[in-house]
């Protein structure tokens, strides 16, 4: 197991009480696995992702632990984590377009960040240039300032920079959200290539867009209102999902080539509950067409079938 997360809970301290966007989340990732982490806005997926690399001042860990390559990842220890960042865990942030410092040349950023981890730029210069070409950029990009590059180019530079030290785990936070469809495909394939060349061991791809995950991810994990709903390999999620939320999600996606003149394109009625004041029991209950009385208590996130985890009473009963 490359990554193991056990019952992780993260909270934000606010004036009106604790907000818990990550509630007792447990999952694991194998070496070489690209896992998609999907959910709506406010589901807590970004918080989960970033908590694995940088827990900022407002976030508190309420419980649980994270293991990477067999050893614990001290996510709450700022100093301890500093050495693990970029070397063991790395991040391609949501704001990749503005993540590069505007007043420094790209090469300078590489040099300084590598030096923070005791690596001399000179020693890895060839490799840097090789990877820059790999992502489709000219070598002279290193001499440029970030504002001289387009948004897409900047994102690719960020990807190269983040993975320069071959981290075990890469967290890609909404990397495709601001792109058009063909660029999305390109970035997705880039991540797969980096995984194939072992520049990264495993990847967590955070997105709200299931369609890109269907192309790129090996497994998909669905998150809803701070809790995990379902996790399985991509094929299963796309073709035979079990959790009512996943099913509704997929049903609401338009299919290419299918005309909808015979019926309406339905969404899921209602809105997800606020993580500031979550209801007791299963959080999807109010919008679930199969809700039962039992759903007043939270169903456990269990392995229902080999490699397939679901948190739903109905599913559990049906397969028992």
The span of 68-76, 81-89, 203-211, 279-287 binding other proteins (CB under 8 A) equals 81-89
The per-residue DSSP string of 114-160 comes to: HHHTT--HHHHHHHHHHHHHHTT--GGGGGS-GGGS-HHHHHHHHHH
39 closest CA partner among 229, 175, 223, 269: 223
Interaction mask 46-65, other proteins, x per CB under 8 A: ----x--xx--xx-------
Contact 297, 281 (CB under 8 A): yes
Kindly state the number of chain residues that form the binding site for other proteins, as judged by CB under 8 A.
Answer: 37
Does the protein bind other proteins through residue 41 (CB under 8 A)?
Answer: no
Binding part of the chain for other proteins, among 95-103, 126-134, 187-195, 244-252 by CB under 8 A, reads 95-103
150 binds other proteins (CB under 8 A): yes
If binding is defined by CB under 8 A, does position 175 make contact with other proteins?
A: no
Q: What's the closest the beta carbon of residue 7 comes to other proteins, in angstroms?
A: 24
Q: Taking the complex as a whole, how short is the minimal distance between the CB of residue 254 and other proteins, in angstroms?
A: 25
Residue 156 lies near other proteins (rule: CB under 8 A): no
Task: Provide the edge-to-edge strand list for the sheet that holds 71-72.
Answer: 17-29, 3-14, 59-68, 71-72
Q: Are strands 219-224 and 227-233 parallel, antiparallel or unpaired?
A: antiparallel
Determine if 111 is a binding residue for other proteins (CB under 8 A).
Answer: no
Q: Which is nearer to other proteins, 150 or 239 (CB)?
A: 150
Report the chain's C-alpha Rg in angstroms.
20
CB closer to other proteins out of 147 and 260: 147
| Residue 118 contacts other proteins per CB under 8 A | no
CA separation for the pair 290, 206 (Å, rounded): 28
- Of 97-105, 188-196, 213-221, 307-315, the segment contacting other proteins by CB under 8 A is 97-105
Interaction of residue 192 with other proteins, rule CB under 8 A: no
Smallest Cα–Cα separation from 22: which of 212, 188, 223, 200?
A: 223
For residue 296, CA distances in Å to 44, 59, 247 come to 22, 28, 21
Told to check if 297 binds other proteins by CB under 8 A, we report no
Residue 187 vs 248, nearer CB to other proteins: 187
What is the spatial distance between Cα 171 and Cα 55, in angstroms, rounded to a whole number? 14
Q: Which is nearer to other proteins, 29 or 161 (CB)?
A: 161
C-alpha–C-alpha distance, residues 22 and 88, integer Å: 22
Residues that bind other proteins (CB under 8 A): 13, 50, 53-54, 57-58, 81-87, 90-91, 93, 95, 98-104, 112-113, 116-117, 145, 147-150, 153, 158, 161-162
């Amino acid at each position: 197991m490359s990554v193991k997360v056990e019952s992780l809970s993260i909270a934000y301290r606010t004036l009106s009480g604790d907000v818990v966007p990550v509630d007792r989340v447990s999952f694991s990732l194998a070496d070489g696995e690209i896992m998609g982490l999907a959910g709506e806005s406010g589901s807590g997926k970004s918080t989960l992702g970033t908590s694995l690399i940088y827990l900022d001042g407002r976030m508190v860990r309420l419980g649980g632990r994270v293991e990477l390559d067999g050893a614990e990842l001290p996510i709450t220890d700022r100093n301890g984590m500093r050495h693990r960042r970029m070397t063991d865990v790395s991040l391609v942030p949501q704001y990749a377009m503005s993540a590069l410092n505007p007043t420094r040349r790209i090469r300078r950023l590489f040099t300084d960040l590598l030096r923070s981890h005791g690596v001399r730029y000179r020693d890895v210069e060839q490799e840097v240039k090789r990877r820059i070409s790999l992502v489709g950029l000219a070598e002279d990009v290193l001499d440029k300032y970030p504002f001289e590059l387009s948004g897409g180019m900047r994102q690719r530079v960020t990807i190269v920079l983040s993975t320069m030290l071959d981290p075990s785990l890469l967290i890609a936070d909404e990397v495709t959200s601001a792109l058009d469809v063909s660029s999305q495909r390109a970035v997705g394939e880039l991540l797969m290539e980096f995984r194939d060349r072992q520049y990264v061991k495993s990847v967590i791809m955070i997105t709200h867009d299931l369609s890109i995950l269907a192309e790129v991810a090996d497994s998909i994990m669905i998150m809803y209102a701070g809790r995990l709903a379902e996790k399985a390999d991509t094929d299963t999620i796309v073709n035979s999902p079990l959790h009512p939320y996943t099913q509704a999600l997929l049903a609401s996606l338009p299919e290419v080539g299918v005309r909808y003149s015979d019926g309406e394109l339905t969404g899921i009625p209602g809105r997800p509950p606020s993580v500031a004041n979550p209801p007791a029991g299963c959080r999807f209950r109010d919008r679930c067409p199969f809700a039962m009385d039992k759903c007043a208590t939270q169903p456990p996130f269990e392995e229902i079938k080999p490699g397939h985890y679901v948190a739903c009473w109905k599913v559990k009963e049906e397969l028992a």
